[in-house]
Amino acid sequence: VASKLIVAGVLALDDLKTPHESGKGVVGGAGIYSSIASSLFTETALVAAIGYDFPADFIDKIESKGIDIKSVRKLEYPTFHWSGEYKGDMAQAITHETDFQINEHYDWEIEKEHRKTRSLLLCNNDPNIQRRVLEQMDAEIIAMDTMNLWIDIAKETLDDVVSQVDILFINDAEAQLYSNSENLDEAAQKLLGKGPRYIIIKKGEHGASLYTVDSVSHLPAFAVKKFVDPTGAGDSFAGATMGYLTNVEALDKDSLIVAMNYGAAVASITVEGFGTTRIMDLSKPEVEERFQKLSGGPGRI
């Protein structure tokens, strides 16, 4: 099987406001951040839909990074749209409006050549869509992300998808909500009981924790001096983590810890720019430097 990561995730145009900057029609979405992050580590193909209003030059930029866009469909509807802002310490996004219309017209059909692959990342999305993608795929390593909205309104379908993946990325508040448990260690064990082998709990500036049935590993975040926009942090963390894992011989706790340190390094770069401005300039030397500070060991890419 080719060492390739398939990233299935939304491409969006965001109206975004932070304490530092604001913009309308800012290119974003989990699929963008995750695929750009993973492309530094491995061959990456993106599965997504864009509308008539998505900037063509940005698709060219994605392709110039070596990302395979054969499974990106252009539809005659508006691109997925999110309007929101971050205030204060920017720990939590405040959503004002979302327009999911494009999902009603997109079947998430995957090109045949992408269906058998080393790894698959199901970015945060409606679990019905995640399941639709999963049903078409034959992947050795499967990871997913989710959010509180789906936990609230589609828990049964979410449970079904979670039971079929190896790795669940989730933030601390969502882990507590999904497990109905305030204690994160207890929450993680309940989530492991749903089927995944690994739970990765994202804790923003406090790093991330990796849980297995018999272990927990806490990893720090990289101390960022210039924190501009957290929008793509979680998605670039997941994309880089999965990008690194795509090329490892065996998925185990040790390889995951290395991968998560790469994820933290990339996420710390992403948040230094507004929207995708910083992640578009990702370079291996810069990522290696931050990885070495986080891991205390030599670079691996």
Give, in order, the Cα–Cα distances in Å from 110 to each of 124, 135, 284.
17, 10, 30
Q: Per-residue pLDDT tens for 38-57?
A: 999 999 999 999 999 999 99
Q: Is 252 helix (H, G, I), strand (E, B) or coil?
A: coil
For the chain, list the strands marked E by DSSP: 4-8, 12-17, 22-28, 43-50, 68-74, 80-86, 93-99, 116-122, 138-145, 167-171, 198-202, 208-212, 215-219
Q: For the residues 136-158, what does the mean pLDDT come to?
A: 98
Would you state the pLDDT for residue 204? 92
Q: For the residues 60-69, what does the mean pLDDT come to?
A: 97
Would you state the pLDDT for residue 149? 94
Distance CA 95, CA 86 (A): 9
| CATH architecture of the domain covering 4-86+96-168+219-295 | 3-Layer(aba) Sandwich (3.40)
In this structure, the number of other CB atoms found within 10 A of the CB of residue 22 comes to: 12
Would you state the pLDDT for residue 48? 98
Q: Are 239 and 36 spatial neighbours (Cβ–Cβ below 8 Å)?
A: yes
Nearest one of 146, 105, 115, 116 to 9, comparing CA atoms: 146
pTM above threshold 0.95: yes
Q: Tokens 């720990």: give the residue.
A: 91
Share of the chain above pLDDT 90, in %: 97
Q: Are 119 and 5 spatial neighbours (Cβ–Cβ below 8 Å)?
A: yes
Q: What are phi and psi of 125, to 5 degrees?
A: -165, 170
Q: Are 168 and 198 spatial neighbours (Cβ–Cβ below 8 Å)?
A: yes
Give, in order, the Cα–Cα distances in Å from 293 to each of 39, 228, 232, 287, 298.
22, 21, 22, 10, 9
Give the pLDDT band (50/70/90) at residue 1: confident
Q: For the residues 32-39, what does the mean pLDDT come to?
A: 99
Would you state the pLDDT for residue 174? 98
